[in-house]
Amino acid sequence: MVSKKVRAYVLVELFPGKEKEFCEEIMNKGLILDSKIERTDFVHGHYDFICILNGEIHDIDSRIIELRRSLYIRKTETLICFDLFTWDEMQCKVNEEQKTH
């Protein structure tokens, strides 16, 4: 069975005032430099961080479980992409749709 690469967005809500501790924890665990975690962004809104993961689903699943072990996390929400497109591919699809209408 061929494993397909996927992308997942993990939205992370922390307990108030725990941003620094969470950053230190994931840096100490090497998760920021992990090849499965493409990037981690500090954001404003309902969530505090967005972690973007790329890889095979079982690898991503283990990273999410590891992230969720943090004592600083109040809640996470995971969005798994079911199909990946490059910007050029997306533009081609839009152009094709416009031609057929």
pLDDT at 74 over 70: yes
CATH number for domain 5-100, candidates 3.30.70.920, 1.10.10.10, 3.40.50.720, 3.20.20.80? 3.30.70.920
Q: pLDDT for 2-34, tens place per residue?
A: 567 889 999 999 999 999 999 899 888 877 666
Please report, for the chain, the start and end positions of each structural domain, with discontinuous segments joined by +: 5-100
Q: Report the predicted TM-score, pTM, of the whole model to 2 decimal places.
A: 0.76
pLDDT at 76 over 90: yes
93: left (phi over 0), alpha (psi -120 to 50) or beta: alpha
